[in-house]
Amino acid sequence: MFELLKQRFITALLLLLILSFSLLSDNKGNFILLITFLVSMVFLEWTRMSIFMFVNNFILYFISFILFSCLFIFSNKILMYSDVFYILLFTVCAIWLLVATISIIYARRFCYIEKIFWSLFSIPACLSVWFSVVLFYVFYGSWFLLSLLIPVWIIDILGYFSGKLIGKVKLAPLVSPGKTIEGSLFGLFFAFLWFILSAYLPGSFACFILEKYSLFVSSVLFFVLCFSSIVGDLFESLLKRNYSLKDSSNFLPGHGGFFDRLDSIIPFLPIAIMISGVIG
């Protein structure tokens, strides 16, 4: 147990240092390159839990490399046509909030049609999260993006530890037996507390949203966002159960894979784009 916690701490520290360096760098390309790498790894790990799992790894790496290299090289041109992505983002968000949620509630084995659907969905899902991160970062800055992502980490970390301490009622026992309703509510409470407090900090996501909407509407939209992060977490657990995997990969010692660490963010960021109304 101690050795596992040690591995998790060292890996988390290294990831934090890399993220901090790229975020604070004067060259925006450094952070965009990091995001491109991370999303490409998520995509590769998702293919392990899809109909593509039997495809040769070299072919998958090659396709991922070409796809996300093009995104990085042409990132400036892609952002110029952000309105074109509106329909893609809207569709992806609807699938996350409706179809993925229903799949989690029923928590059954995917039929072949469902496996094809979720396998193909991995492409627009990864493209939309890449686009969302880059758009927020380039046009609104690192502090805006960081203030937006902090609630995800609060829900994840506090939800986990509070669930271990006080959790009684399972949130989705057939999907992720370790998650509890009490832990999720605890995480949501402190995430909302961060949202309210960060509204007083200029340039934050909360400040931006509260300038556009009333407190009531902003709060409702924020809870929709938080709900999407929980959906992302549970959906990846559902994928792993369907393909009998404990982790999405073993790339990150003590943490599993990149998808395991970023699952909550995959639906969260595209929905944040739609809620903020920065495109469309």
**By the 8 A CB rule, do 33 and 19 touch?**
no
Question: Among 267, 247, 274, which Cα is nearest to 103's?
Answer: 267
Residue 212's CB is within 10 A of a number of other CB atoms, namely 13
Residues 168-191: tens digit of each pLDDT: 899 999 999 889 999 999 999 999
Extended strands (E) in the chain:
170-172, 176-180
| Distance separating alpha carbons of residues 24 and 17, to the nearest angstrom | 11
Question: Among 167, 160, 128, which Cα is nearest to 233's?
Answer: 160
Residues 218-272: tens digit of each pLDDT: 999 999 999 999 999 999 999 999 999 888 888 877 668 899 889 999 999 999 9
Answer yes or no: is pLDDT of 76 > 90: no
How much is the pLDDT for 151? 95
